[in-house]
Amino acid sequence: MGLIAAFTGFRLSANSLNNPSFLHGVASGDPTDTNVILWSRVTTNSQSNIKVLYEVAEDKNFVNIFLRGQKFTDKRSDFTVKIDAKIPKKYRGKKIFYRFRSGNSISETGSTMTLPQDRNSFKVAVFSCSNFPSGYFNVYRDAANDQSIDLGIHVGDYIYEYKQGEYATEDAVKLGRVPIPDKEITTLIDYRLRHSQYKTDKDLQKIHSSMPFICAWDDHEVTNDSWKDGAENHQKNEGLFSERRVNALKAYYEWMPVRTPRNKKNNWKRYKIGTLLDIKLLETRLSARTKQIDLLNFIDESGIFNKNKFLKSLNNEKRELLGSRQISFIEKSIESNDAWNLYAQQVLLGSLKLPLIPNEIIDRLPSFQQYLKLVIREDLPFNFDAWDGYPAERKRLLKAIGSKTQKNIFVAGDTHNCWVSNIKDEDSFRGVELGTPSVTSPGASENFAGLIPATDLEKAVVNKNKNLKWTNLSNRGYLTINFNPGFADAEFKGVNNIASKDYRSMILKKFKILPGKEII
């Protein structure tokens, strides 16, 4: 199915198809202190090269245009356009404006900037798990309206691979957000169409046009619970996983405002804001990850769980999440200066166990009853797809970070809920972890189908995990962190509703993070 056929709801005229248009908005990202990626996509029925002009100005009216150029795009890149714009020194670190032209069409205007090198404060917003059929992207709209945010960080699950009727699509028909194509995506065309559908969302377009982004993928950009050679949601009848991964990454690099590395799987990067902030964007899925351990494989034919055998396998030194090259990258990127080190990655670093939940409640849940009962009974971590499934690698990471600096903050997504934890290497405090909630994907309160009041579940989870200091299991939202030389202000922002365009935002919780100090 072609792109035009998939979006017949736009009711484009034959004349408008002959004239290129910019239906997917604009975006910017991967900023350095000198350059920034500018992105858009041309919608056309042409099979030929399309010339696209770009303009960058110091004002939104484009009175003073200081950079312009042109680029050709065609079907080989799905008619997407990426410009690695080198910004003149005079405008670096300042808010600037950009747009694209093709034929008689002009794109909307976007604002962006390169990374400043002389700032005493810098504010980032962290997002995760934006599932289009789950609900409206009110979270993106809310963050786009916050003019104090300097940089967006998306830590993964920017798109989801499922078809209608599968995960979190219950309200998709009612909301007019049925996945396109209506199948589990596996081919290059599939991934392109799914990215295209997401980029037609006006709230997603709004946030991309309002700030630059740095982006990492998690699993759903390819398929659920992926690792370097496979995934839970990839079966033999879906072809080779290696081909599916190639398809997914080609579409990802086409449709996202990011640079393409030489090895597409090795998408870890570093971003420096002077001596104030040093961001390490990590990759925990495709470059090195060992296959997730399956707890249920350690139950014998008589139904007995072999805990000793399980723990031996779990703690195997060869199990990797980042891999030696990325660990080395982390070691070399820690400087003995006063900069905050922000480790932006996908899955929770802190350990997380479930509290005692009565069997009569677990038995009423739609799935995973045996698994939940087992981890609770054996007092085991809940999620072995996260760092709890790679304890030896977690030790290597924390050893690499060591005590070189007391200004470490870790952020993660994936869980759809809010988390604040103290991260320790044995008894040595290494920093604070902040888990950002989802944009739309359902959280723990929905997963328990209302069988346990959210506040009761939150209290029980915090009481069970000594290093966990706060959680919110109900609200969709995002996280902001405002970095200053002597402290960092973290704020969890939530929305009360994703089933309607009418919503109310609220501050869920605030934390002041001080160098070397645990959250109490």
Is the Cβ–Cβ distance between 433 and 349 less than 8 Å? yes
Residue range(s) in the chain whose domain bears CATH number 2.60.40.380: 1-113
CATH H-level superfamily of 1-113: Purple acid phosphatase-like, N-terminal (2.60.40.380)
Residue range(s) in the chain whose domain bears CATH number 3.60.21.70: 115-513
Cite the beta strand spans of 90-231 per DSSP E.
96-102, 105-106, 110-112, 122-127, 151-154, 213-215, 226-227, 230-231
Compute the C-alpha angle 123/124/125, nearest 5°: 130
- The pTM for the full model equals 0.96
pLDDT at 18: 63
pLDDT at 328: 97
Which mean pLDDT values do the consecutive 10-residue runs of the chain (520 residues) have?
39 55 98 98 94 98 98 98 98 98 97 97 98 98 98 99 97 98 98 98 98 98 98 98 98 98 95 97 98 96 96 98 97 85 98 96 90 96 98 97 93 98 96 98 88 94 98 98 98 98 98 97
pLDDT at 66: 98
At residue 374, φ and ψ (nearest 5 deg) are -70, -45
pLDDT at 371: 95
- The DSSP result for 395-428, as a single string, is HHHHHHHTTS-S-EEEEE-SSSSEEEEEEEETTE
The CATH class for the domain spanning 115-513 reads alpha beta
DSSP state of 262: S
For the stretch 272-286, pLDDT in tens is 999 999 999 999 999
pLDDT at 362: 94
pLDDT at 17: 52
**Sheet hosting strand 418-425, strand order edge to edge:** 269-273, 277-281, 340-344, 408-412, 428-435, 418-425, 468-472
